Amino acid sequence: MKKLTFLLLFVLFFGCIALPGGQKDELEMVPKSANALIIFRPSALLNDSDLITMYNSTEEMQFEIKRVEATTGINPTDIERIVLFFKFDSLKQESEAYGGFIAKGKIEKEKVLNNMKLNNLINELKHDNQVIYEVASKEAPENKTYFSFLQNFLVGGSKEAVEDSVDLGNGKGESIKTRSSLKRVYEKLDEKAVFMLLFENTETMREELNSSKGTFSSAAFSRMKSLGLSISKDGRKIYLKTILLADDAPSANDISKLVESYVSLARGLSPAESTLASVLGKIKVETHSDEVWVNLQTDLDEIEKLNKELEELFQET
């Protein structure tokens, strides 16, 4: 959870399945109860020699991919897309009671079940005529997780989240796509991005942000409806796009000024002629009506230099 909180703060700082009713994509299988998503494409990451460096430096993605592989036996290069979804209500939140993942790709049900049986206790449950597997480690049987197979999707996570996804597969309930502001930022980003983060603000978080004090108060972010970030690759070029959807145009202007002040402060604190200063200098903040865009275009060579530079900086401190 701490990794997720850090990721969200970083973003604020810098910026098919055949089912009844027609074809559904991954987001249509994510329940509306969730308000935060992390989406990545393991096959694209692991089959691209350039992106391996980015993957190896991102603990959150490594952890989730390895966890799915260890539990299910699915080769990560066969996974087209993983969507992590959860309810993120407060900056003070330390755990996720509601959440899960949807993996799309080459899902071999019997192979997955056989792999799960090796080190786990499995119990079959029923929900709306759909089998849900309750899986508990033999070493810690009190810790349970739940899985269900929905044709070429594997859904896993908390019991409530998996049940909600099963309902969506059966044409019941509402998906996260009914969150209009979150859907809007998603559609403005690159759906083929190797990494994407989506978040819709909550009333609790608005209150927490609004109560912040100090010279660089984050109160302006309390008027943010939703946020989206995508990382795309074209050759050696890397494109990072962040969009913040505000309550209205004046709110977007205030958020833009706050983001600019953060970036300006970071530039001022960066060592002259450093890679960090170079990267910060390329960040562009733009406002269009109720939208704030924070864009960065760089390349893998510069990212590698930045990683080394930051590692040395942290070692010194």
Q: How many residues does the structure list for the chain?
A: 317
Torsion, CA 26, CA 31, CA 33, CA 37, rounded to 10: -10
pTM, two decimal places: 0.83
Across 255-273, average pLDDT: 91
pLDDT digit string, tens, across residues 177-225:
999 999 999 999 987 888 899 999 999 999 999 998 766 678 999 999 9
Beta strands of the chain (E only): which ranges? 17-19, 22-24, 36-40, 79-86, 99-105, 120-127, 130-137, 144-150, 153-157, 195-200, 224-234, 237-246, 284-288, 291-299
Read off φ and ψ for residue 237, nearest 5 degrees.
-80, 140
Given a contact cutoff of 8 angstroms between Cβ atoms, the answer to whether 103 and 68 are in contact is yes
| Predicted confidence (pLDDT) at residue 305 exceeds the cutoff of 70 | yes
More confident residue, 213 or 90: 90
Backbone phi, psi, residue 71, to 5°: -80, -40
**Range 25-49 average pLDDT:** 87
Confidence band, pLDDT 50/70/90 cuts, at residue 60 = low
Q: Give the pLDDT confidence score for residue 192 in this predicted structure.
A: 80
Give 311 or 3, the one with higher predicted confidence.
311
Which uninterrupted H or E stretch holds 256?
helix 249-269
11: pLDDT strictly greater than 80: no
Give the domain ranges of the chain: 2-177, 179-316
Is 50 exceeded by the pLDDT of residue 16? no
Measured CA to CA, the distance from residue 242 to residue 263 in angstroms comes to 14
Q: How confident is the model at residue 61 (pLDDT cuts 50, 70, 90)?
A: low
How far is 228 from 9, CA to CA, in rounded Å?
Answer: 13
